[in-house]
Amino acid sequence: MPSIQKNGQRALISGVSGCLCFGGGYWRHDYKYAFSIIKKIKPENLIDIGCGPGAFLCEVSRLFPEVQLNALDLSEEMIEETKSRLSGKVTATAGDSENMPLEDEQYQVVTCNMSIHHYPHPQKAVNEMYRILKKGGYLLLNDMDCAAPIRAVANFCFPRLKAGDVKMYNRDEIVELVKTAGFKKIKYRKISPFTFQCIAKK
């Protein structure tokens, strides 16, 4: 049986992740890097994969009211929260990024912020991102990456913490995932000591 201490630890971790998701994670400062690309591309529509409570899409709606918004998240609760925050301005679907219940070639931009480190089979998810993008569309992928020793510690801890984090992928792994899915013009850059942005074109 798990000890009280272990249960307490897990509750604390899920509480902290929940607060980060609902209350405004540090990574949300990085949304601006996606906004600058959206400003240039001027897409008709966009889908945010692993949308959480819809913080990114709320900002997109405010800055680019002409863009049609779509969302996917594994959690029904997050989908409901996204719908309620965007009151009628989003098509939000509950589903797994690794097997999306979405049609081929529907979107001009696919965004994925701080979600890929939750995916046990990230290649399946990136293949799906490629499939749902229109030809010439863009993938804007943000997530965490740290110096190698910190990444190693995080990857040791993730499965033990059981907070839903699977793996912090390094630069080569991300670029390989995106390349294998079929994307071209892949750009990867660190945008803070803890995060990266990868942009790629279908």
Q: Which residues, in sequence order, are bridge partners of residue 49?
A: 72, 112
Residue choice 38, 46, 47, 52 for contact with ligand SAM (CB under 6 A): 52
Using DSSP, state whether 122 is helix, strand or coil: helix
Residue choice 34, 46, 47, 55 for contact with ligand SAM (CB under 6 A): 55
**Residue in the block written with tokens 């989003």:** 90
Contact by Cβ (8 Å): 54, 27: no
Instruction: Report the distance separating Cα 76 and Cα 35, nearest Å.
Output: 26
Q: Among residue numbers 124 through 143, which ones bind ligand SAM (CB under 6 A)? A: none
Applying CB under 6 A, the span of 6-14, 107-115, 148-156, 188-196 interacting with ligand SAM comes to 107-115
Residue choice 47, 56, 183, 186 for contact with ligand SAM (CB under 6 A): 56
Residue choice 34, 38, 47, 50 for contact with ligand SAM (CB under 6 A): 50
Q: Which long-range contacts (CB under 8 A, 24 or more apart) does 179-186 make?
A: 180/123, 180/126, 180/127, 181/123, 181/126, 181/127, 181/129, 181/130, 182/127, 182/130, 183/130, 183/139
Applying CB under 6 A, the span of 8-16, 72-80, 150-158, 185-193 interacting with ligand SAM comes to 72-80
Determine, following the binding rule CB under 6 A, whether residue 114 of this chain makes contact with ligand SAM: yes
Residue choice 73, 81, 143, 145 for contact with ligand SAM (CB under 6 A): 73
Strand boundaries in 99-164, DSSP class E: 107-113, 133-144
Applying CB under 6 A, the span of 6-14, 47-55, 152-160, 182-190 interacting with ligand SAM comes to 47-55
Q: Give Dmax (Cα) for the chain.
A: 55
Binding site for ligand SAM (CB under 6 A): 21, 25, 50-52, 55-56, 73-75, 78, 96-98, 113-115, 118-119
